[in-house]
Amino acid sequence: MKQRTAKFNIGDVVRHRMFPFRGVIFDVDPEFANTEEWWNSIPVEVRPSKDQPFYHLLAENDETEYVAYVSEQNLISDESGVPLRNPQIAQIFDKAPTGEFKPKMSFAH
Q: What is the pLDDT of residue 109?
A: 52
Q: What is the pLDDT of residue 76?
A: 98
Query: What pLDDT, in 10s, does the model give residues 68-107?
Result: 999 999 999 999 999 999 999 999 999 988 888 999 976 5
Residue 3 pLDDT class (50, 70, 90 cuts): low
Query: What pLDDT, in 10s, does the model give residues 31-77?
Result: 999 999 999 998 898 899 999 999 999 999 999 999 999 999 999 99
Q: What is the pLDDT of residue 10?
A: 95
Three-state secondary-structure class, residue 38: helix
HSE, CB side, 13 Å, CA atoms: give it for residue 24: 23
Cα separation, 72 vs 87, in Å, equals 24
Burial class (CB in 10 A: 0-12, 13-18, 19+), 66: middle
The single-letter DSSP state of residue 62 is: S
